[in-house]
Structure 1
Amino acid sequence: NLISLDSSSSFIDDVTKLLSSCNIPLSVVNHPNFIAFMEKYCGQRPPSRPTINNHLKSQSSNILSQIKENVQGKDVYISLDETRDIKDRPMTAVLMGSWM
């Protein structure tokens, strides 16, 4: 028996956080084995990729808002490090902090 989801379910947020924080490609939610695993062990069908994308955008906005609140009125520093990943694609790591 699968648990029905409503669009405001924290399950969707948690799956989105899991995939993004573990660097798991979002396409995994369409894979039959992933769907079967989620249904078997979580009792829920995973959200669709478009749903994950929408929640990821929302979570990103929330994180940016939290960063802005935390550094507002403070002196901040930003450090950038350019490198390449294993597939030789350029990427930039960003480190940001505030002075106490």
Structure 2
Amino acid sequence: MRLSDYAAMVRSKNAGPFVLTFDILFSDEASYERVKRSGALNADMFARLYQTESAKVRFFECDRARAFKFSIPHPTTQGALGCADLHGGQQFIPLLDVEIP
């Protein structure tokens, strides 16, 4: 199954002009724990998916909120020439297809 089958919300947004942040939220404890136990979401996977260095990925598991949060450097400065997503709101799409073993 894919992450989109478990998560209630997957979103991305700018966290200032130099950082993109991603939130993955779950509506129930069972789905959150299933994804967490799988180990599929981690800094290395995220770095590969978004073509950045693993050391630059900030990854948080938020048990009380049943959520994961990732932050990475923005590939371009927000609003710079070549920035195709001014608000960072479309960057979450590749996450939807992440396989959860």
TM-score, normalising length from structure 1? 0.26
More helix by share: 1
Larger Cα-atom Rg: 1
Q: Which has the higher strand share?
A: 2
Larger relative contact order (CA 8 Å, sep ≥ 6): 2
